[in-house]
Amino acid sequence: MQSTKFHRAALIGRHTEASDVESLKVTRTVMHDVAALVQQAGCEVVIGKRTAAMLGVYGIWEEFDTEAIGRGCDLAIVIGGDGTMLDASQKLAPFGTPLIGINQGRLGFVTDIALTEYQQVLPPMLAGKYVEDRRCMLRGSVMRGDACLFESLALNDVVVNRGPAAHMVELRIETDGQFIANTRGDGLIIATPTGSTAYALSAGGPLIHPQAHVWVAVPIAPHSLSSRPVIIPNPREGVIEIVAGAASASFDMFSFTELHVGDRIVVRRAEDYVRFLHPQGWSFFDTLRKKLYWNAGH
């Protein structure tokens, strides 16, 4: 039996549709393989309740809900895509639970261990040979007057989109009490450095190193050629007010669909951080070259 730095690890899988038989089969196989590696390292294995139900595996490992994982596990291994990791991050960041991501999705910016590599990569990490990477989060609130209608953490971004009708939305943007601009178009993205490789990138935003203490505000299809992404240094609070038009807001995995004129989306730095564990030698720039197919040069 190998030594391990961890005592109890939770397995969390992607929440695939039951009709996606092939994907479920792959997830079950990987889950059993990962569990065996964890146990060989001398670490107890539990499984998330939703994951056990999705995979139809019962009685093999003890089932924990999110709070039990946060309070009772010192590691969570996430098997899925970036969406699965976003969900796990939101739920486990308040507990400080470190996360390892095995990519069963597409790009895998934050689930960075390939399916073809986890059998070699995971054992050294369980023994303590890893790089810890702390990522900042946002806390977004939907305010109507003095009432908070909705609140959520977000690792990637807070997005305000126009409503279902093909009409623009007008937004007023300020940060730390300073007015930035009014913008008209399809909406606005407030992204963390982690979120700079997600929706913000496809909307024309810059790539930002995850350790930079900034946000980026990216207009979505603005009705002005001069409206461009703005990097905001060390922000404490941003406010997006609905000036005209129907709109909705999304916070990574969660949405609030009925915003009215005068509603404000208040974005603050969250007190919680996400703790990602990467294999030794991991580099953000290596990830960009690999995922975005950059020419590595010489």
pLDDT tens per residue, range 63-100: 999 999 999 999 999 999 899 999 999 999 999 999 99
Has residue 297 got a pLDDT over 70? no
Pick the CATH number of 138-271 from 3.40.50.1100, 2.30.110.10, 2.40.10.120, 2.60.200.30: 2.60.200.30
pLDDT at 258 (0 to 100): 86
**pLDDT score, position 296:** 61
Where are the domain boundaries for CATH 2.60.200.30 in the chain?
A: 138-271
Q: Tell me the three state secondary structure of residue 153.
A: strand
For the segment 190-199, the average pLDDT, to the nearest whole number, is 96
CATH 3.40.50.10330 maps onto the chain at: 8-128
Q: Angle between the 118-126 and 21-40 helix axes, to the nearest 10 degrees?
A: 40
Residues known to be catalytic: 82
CATH 3.30.479.30 applies to domain 8-128: no
Q: Are 214 and 176 in contact (CB under 8 A)?
A: no
Range 199-227 average pLDDT: 95
- Which stretches of the chain are DSSP H helices? 21-40, 49-55, 66-72, 82-92, 118-126, 199-202, 284-292
Q: Which band of pLDDT confidence, cut at 50, 70 and 90, is reported for residue 1?
A: very low
Q: Strands of 245-298 (E only): list them.
A: 247-251, 254-259, 264-279
- Residues across the chain: 298
* Greater model confidence, 185 or 21: 185
Average pLDDT over the chain, rounded to whole?
92
Q: Please report where in the chains the tokens 């054992």 appear, as a residue.
A: 123
